[in-house]
Amino acid sequence: MAIYVHIAKPSKLSLEDAFALACAAALTAVCVSSGWFDYVCMTLRHGEQYELDEYAGAAFVFLAAAVVLFARREWQLRTCLRQAAVREKAAHDAARRDYLTNLPNRLALMEGLEGAREPSVSLLLIDLDGFKSINDRYGHAAGDAVLRTVAERLQRICNDAGGLVARLGGDEFGYLLPQSSERIMAMIKGRITRYIREPIALPTGEVTIDASVGNAASTDASSDPDSLLQDADAAMYREKQQRQLDRSPDPAEAPSICSPFGSPAPSVVHQPMLGGHTSS
């Protein structure tokens, strides 16, 4: 998405500048024709007059007008720079904000991973189960309302536990937080699924939705953010497939779920530490 920032530039000679110059010229002409410069010079020099006094006074008036114009132009330039800084920040924030849920987007999450101050962080990926059926049955407006409600609930959890929650796209969300113990991570995952399962009120009635949550943890500051994201994605799809197996009376009839990163998600629940990352 391209974002264009318009920076207003001060004009070369505005109407106000021309008016100020005209006023300075008129004032100079009045002072010269009325002899005001002579009077001032006679007062200051005790009656001694010089032929250049009138020209010196005219130069003084024009110098004062030039100082005013330069000050005004400096103020215009500083105003333009402030406006440009505000617009640049707005464009920066807009490029890292999801327009539908007002959560940070994938770019903001990846920057959070790259700039994490803690040497070890945990990443949770949340994928909504049954969202497509709601979208197909009630329409895209209802689906958007569900996504906004889920985003608000995830943000409540983030406000309590800290970290960064973002919408990665579609019905997938990410939650970045400092690495915690397995017990705390299990509590957070349980809270996420419990909050998401709460009924969502729509104009057509209430709907419920579920979620699969996978997490991965980096063990050192040199961990690759893309690898951490793939580990969390693989863990999330393992949990999704396990939930399908649990709901299916015959495991052989359970649908195969593939990760968007390529290979089918395995059915195991745990994997050992590989490449500085752990996932579950």
Instruction: Give catalytic status of residue 38 as yes or no.
Output: no
* CB 124, CB 232: distance < 8 Å: yes
First to last CA, the chain: 34
Rounded distance between C-alpha atoms, residue 92 and residue 103, angstroms? 14
Distance from the Cα of residue 57 to its chain's centroid: 57
Provide the sign of the torsion angle of the four alpha carbons 158, 160, 161, 162, taken in this order. Answer: positive
* CB 25, CB 66: distance < 8 Å: no
Residue whose pair of structure tokens reads 């070369």 in the numeric block = 12
Buried b (16+ CB within 10 A) or exposed e, 21-52: eeebeebbeebbeeeebbeebeeeeeeeeeee
Q: Which of 171, 224, 246, 250 is catalytic?
A: 171
Using alpha carbons, select from 112, 233, 230, 224 the residue that is nearest to residue 166.
112
Rounded distance between C-alpha atoms, residue 174 and residue 103, angstroms? 10
* CB 126, CB 173: distance < 8 Å: yes
- Return the structure tokens found at 27: 């004032």
- Catalytic site positions: 171
